[in-house]
Chain A
Amino acid sequence: GEKVEQHESTLSVREGDSAVINCTYTDTASSYFPWYKQEAGKSLHFVIDIRSNVDRKQSQRLIVLLDKKAKRFSLHITATQPEDSAIYFCAAPMTNSAGNKLTFGIGTRVLVRP
């Protein structure tokens, strides 16, 4: 089944700088890659996703890049603000199985310093 590896466990950036989180996946059939954010003491909420028919997607200050050849996707948080401090999870659907259950990376804790 699909395995998702999230490469940065923690990231500390200065406010206004960019934060980049990288993930790799194993299943070449994967076609959908969402990102979730978990703020302290709260549950996960969806922030952005990318499908395999494109290699770049932007939503406000968030950019997702997809490199299908390398089986890698990344989240770029630009012009970081204190409210960006959270744990970010990458995910991919578990292929070769029924339904849209997700397999998640281990999470990256992002700290935005003033």
Chain B
Amino acid sequence: NAGVIQTPRHKVTGKGQEATLWCEPISGHSAVFWYRQTIVQGLEFLTYFRNQAPIDDSGMPKERFSAQMPNQSHSTLKIQSTQPQDSAVYLCASSFRTGGRSSYEQYFGPGTRLTVL
């Protein structure tokens, strides 16, 4: 079990460029979460998929951020026209569903450190 895989581990973009972050959840996990971690704000929820369907994107900045889960093996977070304040570690997590109930325990990937110059 390789755990949650995130690529790239580090990304540097110039202001105004686009950044795409990738996440591969643990095989068999039905829920995928995206969080953002900064020193100032701590860990913030961004968006969440269950069985590939978007369930809740209430934490996503609406204008430039988007997330997709085209198949059960990967999810992407895309940031258009990146700004310096987007600099953060973006964490992906997955959790499984058993017995008809979702597990609360989330397994986190190593994160992608995004730096916007």
A and B found bound together: yes
Show the binding face of A for B, using Cβ within 8 Å.
32, 34, 36, 42-46, 49, 89, 93-94, 97-107
Identify whether the interface residues of B are mostly helix, strand, loop, or mixed: strand
Q: Is the CB of A34 within 8 A of B105?
A: yes
Given A43-B110, A89-B43, A101-B48, A49 and B105 touching (CB < 8 A)? Answer: yes
Tally of contact residues, B, Cβ under 8 A: 24
Kindly list chain B residues whose C-beta atoms are within 8 Å of the C-beta of A34: 104-106
Q: How far is the CB of A93 from chain B (nearest CB, A)?
A: 6
The contact of A99 among B42, B50, B109, by CB within 8 Å, is B50
Q: Could you count the A-B residue pairs with CB atoms below 8 Å apart for me: how many are there?
A: 58
Complex alpha-carbon distance, A101 and B34, angstroms = 9
- With A105-B42, A106-B42 already in contact, the answer to whether A98 and B31 are too (CB < 8 A) is no
B75-117 vs A: 1/0 string, CB under 8 Å? 0000000000000000101010000001111111111000000
Q: Which residues of B contact A (CB under 8 A)?
A: 31, 33, 42-43, 45, 48, 50, 55-56, 58-59, 91, 93, 95, 102-111
Knowing A94-B45, A97-B56, the reply to whether A102 touches B106 (Cβ < 8 A) is: yes
The reply to whether B105 and A97 contact each other, CB–CB distance below 8 Å, is no
Which chain B residue has the least Cβ–Cβ distance from A92?
B104
Give the Cβ gap from B104 to chain A, nearest Cβ, in Å: 5
User: Which of A32, A34, A99, A100 has its CB near the most chain B CB atoms (within 10 A)?
Assistant: A100
Given A99-B50, A100-B104, CB of A43 within 8 Å of CB of B56: no
